[in-house]
Amino acid sequence: MSDGEYFTTTQVGERLGVTGVTVLRWIKLGYVHGKRKGVAPKSGWLIPESEVRRLEAQLAGNITPADIDAASEAWDAAMPDFAGLLDAGQVGE
């Protein structure tokens, strides 16, 4: 798989052993970073493979809180507009 590959919340849930709804909750809480499939509020989410690998490592206990903070800071730097929307609660369901 390439780093450019994206997965739906359902696919990520299956890979991690949780439901797609759980992954959606994680996105809304800011635990998982993803992007909308389209512009409509109900268009669904796409999660990059790098994020899925981070989650797998975190769930396996192979990642520290410092690693999570570093990944989150890198995401915020790469996607400043999205981070602002998330903080303002403007990201839809």
Q: What is the pLDDT at residue 63?
A: 62
What is this structure's pTM? 0.60
Residues 47-85 have pLDDT tens digits of 999 899 988 888 887 666 677 677 777 777 776 666 555
Q: Do 2 and 49 form a contact (C-beta atoms < 8 A)?
A: yes
For residue 66, CA distances in Å to 8, 20, 57 come to: 27, 26, 13
Decide: residue 32, CB within 10 A, 0-12 exposed, 13-18 middle, 19+ buried: buried
Integer Rg of the chain from CA = 13
CA dist., res. 55 & res. 31, Å (int): 9
Tell which residue, 60, 32, 59, has the closest CA to residue 47: 32
Across all residues in the chain, what is the average pLDDT? 78
